[in-house]
Amino acid sequence: MSASSPVVEVPSETLSLPALVQLLQTIFQRHGCRAEVARCLAENCAAAERDGAHSHGVFRIQGYVSTLASGWVDGRALPVVEDVAAAFVRVDAANGFAQPALAAARQLLVDKTRSAGIALLAIRNSHHFAALWPDVEPFAEEGLVALSVVNSMTCVVPHGADRPLFGTNPIAFAAPQAQGQPIVFDLATSAIAHGDVQIAARKGERLPPGIGVDSLGQPTQDPRAILEGGALLPFGGHKGSALSMMVELLAAALTGGNFSFEFDWSDHPGARTPWTGQLLIVIDPSKAAGQSFAERSQELVRQMHAVGLKRLPGERRQQQRERSQQHGIAIAVEQLQQLRALAEEG
């Protein structure tokens, strides 16, 4: 992230994926989640760590514990799934996490996608504190195309405005390829994810220019100035800003969830999870006319490589996944001690 940061070797221990999932599941259960929710969040968070998606891996556990302790989110919530139309599923997450809400509605969503060719899942009254690719990638592994958006918490200044309003509002997309892994991208519509700003602040690193402003609205490369009263900017100026606006509309206005600016967690010290909404759109490409979609996506990738492309979105994650599968998931010793202590608490 910082152009000049030296690489510092931190002592680490390696864990297998099942061992990490088990440790995280214990933490979630000890800190107020029912077993299914704990499993779901543990698998999500461990997968992020395995793939080197560090801004949403074990780094997030302290925030989960803090937000659960604050009473802001209900780790025992039972999502209510409603079959509202031929291609529309709605879930009230009941002030719980978004991932168990998706899990509860998933089979109905897939069945509707297979019969109607397309189906939507609108989740509201939900908290999403994770990477978004784990929500879409499994659909592409089943041959479906999936798009998801989630809004977060006010910390991004719309392009041309003076003060923050939008969340960091990621968009994730997954599509099958005839051979190999699905094509997946997952990106915040802010110039950088809030999690990466926090990580930079902890490490004492400076950020690249053009990412954020301080509390006076002045450009800054200091992550602490962004976190302490400052704000982020959208990526790509007016273009990222328009996409972020779209995410607010789809993830909140359409689902019945909160806009990023509509919730107030000040009565819940320690609250960390945005209380918003999430939309998923899943498409069955076999319903379309013409050649197989997976063959066509393979051809597109082939042509991209032919013109010199070295790295596809999602490829770094896949490579890290393979390394983790071979050698285990490396976690800094100090961080692992903290996780083990959290697993003993509660």
List residues with catalytic annotation.
Answer: 55-56, 196
Q: How many residues does the chain have?
A: 346
Q: Which is nearer to ligand PYC, 106 or 194 (CB)?
A: 194
For the CB of residue 111, give the shortest distance to ligand PYC in the complex, in Å: 30
Q: Which is nearer to ligand NDP, 185 or 346 (CB)?
A: 185
Place of tokens 């997309």: 173
DSSP 35-64: HHHHHHHHHHHHHHHHTT-GGGSGGGHHHH
Residue numbers 288-327 binding ligand PYC by CB under 6 A: none
Q: How far apart are CA 100 and CA 88, in angstroms?
A: 18
Instruction: Name the one range near ligand NDP by CB under 6 A: 36-44, 83-91, 239-247, 307-315.
Output: 307-315
Is 79 near ligand PYC (CB under 6 A)?
Answer: no
Contact 279, 262 (CB under 8 A): no
For the CB of residue 260, give the shortest distance to ligand NDP in the complex, in Å: 9
Contacting residue, 2, 55, 181, 221, with ligand PYC by CB under 6 A = 55
Extract the tokens encoding 91.
Answer: 């879930």
Q: How far apart are CA 220 and CA 316, in angstroms?
A: 29
Alpha helices per DSSP H over the chain? 17-30, 35-50, 61-69, 98-116, 133-141, 194-203, 223-227, 238-248, 293-306, 315-327, 333-344
The one of ligand NDP, ligand PYC, none whose footprint includes residue 234, by CB under 5 to 8 A per kind, is: none
Residue numbers 98-137 binding ligand NDP by CB under 6 A: 128-133
Contact 122, 264 (CB under 8 A): no
Extract the tokens encoding 171.
Answer: 């968009």
For the CB of residue 191, give the shortest distance to ligand NDP in the complex, in Å: 8
Residue numbers 98-157 binding ligand PYC by CB under 6 A: 129, 152
Q: Which is nearer to ligand NDP, 230 or 274 (CB)?
A: 274
Nearest residue (beta carbon) to ligand NDP:
131
Is 168 near ligand NDP (CB under 6 A)?
Answer: yes
For the CB of residue 166, give the shortest distance to ligand NDP in the complex, in Å: 11
Contact 58, 332 (CB under 8 A): no
Provide φ and ψ at 127, rounded to 5°: -120, 125
Instruction: Name the one range near ligand PYC by CB under 6 A: 3-11, 132-140, 190-198, 206-214.
Output: 190-198
Q: Which residues bind ligand NDP (CB under 6 A)?
A: 53, 55-56, 128-133, 150, 152, 168, 170, 172, 185-188, 192-193, 195-196, 274, 311, 313-317
